[in-house]
Amino acid sequence: MKRLSILLIVTLSITGLKAQNKQMKNLEKAVEALRTAMVDGDRTTLTAISSENLTYGHSSGKIETQKEFVENIVNGNSNFDSIELSNQQIIIQNKTGIVRHDFYATTHDAGRSPGEVKLHIMTVWVKEGKDWKIIGRQAVRKM
């Protein structure tokens, strides 16, 4: 009986770890899809991967809704030539994911000279059905 109990506990632990790893990989894919869509200015993907309740905070203090975020990327007001993410850390609890990373981008925003940004980013993701959607983002300038 004792061996059976131990076996059951080990089996449940392994199953839980596999499920957590799968969720982690799916969230990593969502982060990458967001990065790519921001560079490409892809309205369809940006809309699909973001929650209607998105609050998108910039390092300047500006806050955007989902509609404003998507429109500013698509129309070139926020135009990314490239985005690189590094030092990524992910925490998942139930149906919420928190992702932190360093963000380096080259930009050419509408009406401005080419530039670059170096930021620390924290995003909050929620699981809607089988998909992860970004619901919150805050950036601070990297010193």
Instruction: Name the residue with higher pLDDT: 60 or 5.
Output: 60
Instruction: Select from 59, 79, 65, 80 the least CA-distant residue to 138.
Output: 59
Contact criterion met (CB below 8 Å) for 18 and 99: no
Per-residue pLDDT band for 12 (boundaries 50, 70, 90) equals very low
pLDDT exceeding 90 applies to what percent of the chain? 80
Segment 9-13 shows an average pLDDT of: 47
User: Where do the domains of the chain lie, and which CATH numbers do they carry?
Assistant: 2-141 (3.10.450.50)
- What is the model's pTM? 0.85
What mean pLDDT, rounded, does the chain reach?
A: 90
Instruction: Name the residue with higher pLDDT: 40 or 110.
Output: 40
| Residue 97 pLDDT | 98
Contact criterion met (CB below 8 Å) for 80 and 58: no
| Residue 9 pLDDT | 52
Using the predicted structure, report yes or no on whether residue 4 has a pLDDT greater than 90: no
Out of 13-17, 20-24, 76-80, 87-91, least confident range: 13-17
| Residue 143 pLDDT | 80
